[in-house]
Amino acid sequence: MSIQAVRGFNDIFDTETTAKIQAVEQLLIQAAQAHGYSEVRLPFLEKAELYRRSIGETSDIVNKEMYTFSDKNDDLLCLRPEGTASCIRTAIEHNVLYQHSRKWYYLSPMFRRERPQKGRYRQFYQFGMEAIGIAEPFVDIEHLLLLHNIFKTLKIGSKVRLTLNYLGGADTRARYKQALQAYYHQHKNSFSPLDLQRLEENPLRILDSKDSSLQAINKNAPVMSNFYNDSEQKALEAITQQLNAHEIAYAHNPYLVRGLDYYTGCIYEWVAPELGAQATVCGGGRYDKLANQLGSQDIAATGFSIGMERLLELVETNIPPKITVTWISLSEESLKSSLQSCHKIRQACPGISVDTNYDISKIKNALKKANKRGYTYVIISGEDEINTGKYQLKDMINNEQYSLSLEEIITHLQHKV
Ligand code: HAM
């Protein structure tokens, strides 16, 4: 039997798809760099303990979705399910905040053993930005503005909706937790063992349940905003006022908690209903206590991650077709000189792809193949062309043919880029 890829791990090789991925990735990287963020490259493997302490033991990710295994020295390791915890681990481990705050971005695969379906994979890519060591809520607003602009540039502004909430501090949460426990105790007969554990340890987790019977119960659960103190109330208002000032539409969902335990303060999701069951394109928020959970002093931080597969599903392909050229050699001499000639074109015409042929072709067959593979131009070189120094440049789109020197071909192609 032939070997197939692991379920939920995708092969991507279609040139149109990879061109679209590259164009969108480029746009995100440019946006991050334009805002003063630099790339952080994080390991794929981390100690499992990192996620247990940060994302939380009662979260779905840690409970059911991690690829965890024992290394030969009995270290419990894990394929990273997300990037935020690694960013904070890195910042602490290398003491980078000693000099100044850090603004990092990453674009990398993450791994979660969820049930695969459209928009949900076991290996998926996230583009994330994290502002570490910055307490001012201004940076949260900047992230929301930046995301709004990214979605607008990608022409999906009308497809995504922003939902946000504000998680109160320790006192507020303690009072809210009690109210939630009192409410859920009335319904606990229908709870699974994991939800019973959540009820005792972390009832906020139940608010994020994907279980439909729990979702119905959640509709009447108490809301955290009723437990806010004055400064928390004002903090939420300050954020919503800024969003109004920038004309960014949002909905306040008082039940939004997000699936990871490390959040504090403003949290949000961008959802595209047209994606169906897996509609959250981006999630993020503030996580000022995460460093503390990892054994350091508090580090104020905030950030977000975009799920690349879901984002790409929303973006229409309107990438201009790349100019692709293939060199067809009809004689031994031409084949020998083609490597050098193709190299000259590549150097003089950045952005154009020039595909070398490695054997002597028959013109009819070669043109048929070139047509099938969708090249924009074909350069034909045989004995005559070598003698006269004039090659045949065939425009495959307009079906025109010119007899040109190599320099003239280069000038012609340069005008097309
Ligand atoms: P998250 O909500 O777990 O947050 O993931 C962020 C995004 O990754 C989701 O909104 C979704 O688009 C995408 N995603 C998650 N799981 C899958 C999957 N199985 N298949 C395809 N896409 C998926 C985080 O990971 C946080 N680290 C976000 C953050 C950064 N918070 C602060 N900074």
Please state, in angstroms and rounded to a whole number, the distance separating the CA atoms of residues 115 and 158.
29
* Ligand 1 center–CA 305 separation, angstroms: 6
- For residue 303, give the ligand 1 atom closest to its CA: 33
pLDDT at residue 322, as a whole number = 83
Encode pLDDT of 54-81 as tens digits.
999 999 999 999 999 999 999 999 999 9
pLDDT at residue 78, as a whole number = 97
Encode pLDDT of 140-152 as tens digits.
999 999 999 999 9
Across 3-12, 39-48, 84-93, 185-194, least confident range: 185-194
Residues 6 or more apart whose CB falls under 8 angstroms from that of 152 comprise none
From residue 210, alpha-carbon distances to 67, 163, 217, 236, 340 in Å are: 21, 17, 12, 26, 60
Length of the chain: 417
pLDDT at residue 317, as a whole number = 81
pLDDT-derived band at 49 (thresholds 50, 70, 90) equals very high
Encode pLDDT of 264-300 as tens digits.
999 999 999 999 999 999 999 999 999 999 999 999 9
* Ligand 1 binding pocket mutation candidate from 40, 60, 63, 82 (most atoms within 8 A of CB): 82
Say yes or no: CB of residue 327 within 6 Å of ligand 1: no
pLDDT at residue 62, as a whole number = 95
* Ligand 1 binding pocket mutation candidate from 305, 310, 313 (most atoms within 8 A of CB): 305
- For residue 280, give the ligand 1 atom closest to its CA: 10
Say yes or no: CB of residue 126 within 6 Å of ligand 1: yes
Contacts 24+ apart (CB under 8 A), 236-245: 236/166, 236/266, 238/137, 239/137, 239/140, 239/141, 239/164, 239/166, 239/266, 240/164, 242/141, 243/141, 243/144, 243/162
Q: Per-residue b/e over 129-162, b at no fewer than 16 CB within 10 Å?
A: bbbbbbbebebbbbbbebbbebbeebebeebbeb
- For residue 82, give the ligand 1 atom closest to its CA: 25
Residue with CA closest to ligand 1 atom 12: 307
Give the number of other Cβ atoms within 10 Å of residue 248's Cβ. Answer: 17
Please state, in angstroms and rounded to a whole number, the distance separating the CA atoms of residues 96 and 93.
8
Encode pLDDT of 390-411 as tens digits.
999 999 999 999 999 999 999 9
Say yes or no: CB of residue 209 within 6 Å of ligand 1: no
pLDDT-derived band at 318 (thresholds 50, 70, 90) equals confident
pLDDT at residue 361, as a whole number = 86
pLDDT at residue 320, as a whole number = 74
Please state the φ and ψ torsions of residue 125, each to the nearest 5 degrees: -105, 140
- Helix residue ranges, H only, 298-353: 308-314, 332-348
Helices and strands in the chain: count of H runs, count of E runs: 15, 16
pLDDT at residue 102, as a whole number = 97
Which tokens belong to 311? Answer: 């984002």
pLDDT-derived band at 371 (thresholds 50, 70, 90) equals very high
CA-nearest of 250, 254, 163 to 204 is 254
Residue with CA closest to ligand 1 atom 15: 307
Instruction: Decide if pLDDT at 133 tops 90.
Output: yes
CA-nearest of 386, 381, 338 to 358 is 338
